[in-house]
Amino acid sequence: MRVLGVDPGTLNMGYGVIEEKGGSSLMMITCGVISAPQKMPIEERLCVLHEGLTKVISEYRPEVVALEEPFVAGNARSALAIGRAQAVAILAAAQARLPVFRYMPTQVKQLVTSYGRSSKDQVQQVVKLQLGVTDLPEASDAADALAVAICHLNQKHLDDILKRGY
């Protein structure tokens, strides 16, 4: 299964595509950041992000999209901005007829590291181990998107186990 993980933002939208082979082996296909200039009006930034994500979907052909839900601790302005970016990602996925799964940051940490309060560094270390890579991209948005994609596959495995009754 090929999964596109997305870490939404209105300036930088991280993405990471991973593929699971044989039920347990994970391989990073690509990752990166789609950026829009801060001085650009929000409607133009959202177009840039949408076009960039549409290209990623078209080129790498994921089967599902996994998004990180915003955590904004009482900052309504941040919540609105991230919500806009999340809507752009959902729209790009819907246009490609891809199912979308959403995960809270604590879920991502729990499903990637087995601890919902893991540090960003701990999450990145586990992502490197699971993908079998020595380095992750310097952009934390791309590394976070890879974690969201891994989170989705781990959740899918848990769901499959529960369906079988184990």
| Residues with catalytic roles | 7, 68, 141
Of the candidates 60, 89, 63, which has an alpha carbon nearest to the alpha carbon of residue 1? 63
Return d(Cα 28, Cα 62) in angstroms, integer.
12
Q: Centre a 10 Å sphere on the Cβ of residue 25 and count the other Cβ atoms it contains.
A: 11
Return d(Cα 52, Cα 149) in angstroms, integer.
18
The conformation of residue 149, written as its DSSP 8-state character, comes to H
Structure-derived torsion over alpha carbons of residues 114, 120, 125, 128, reported in degrees to the nearest 10: 100
Show the tokens assigned to 137: 């991209």
Task: Give 15-75 as a DSSP string.
Answer: EEEEEEETTTEEEEEEEEEEE--TTS-HHHHHHHHHHHHHHHHHHH--SEEEEEPP--TT-
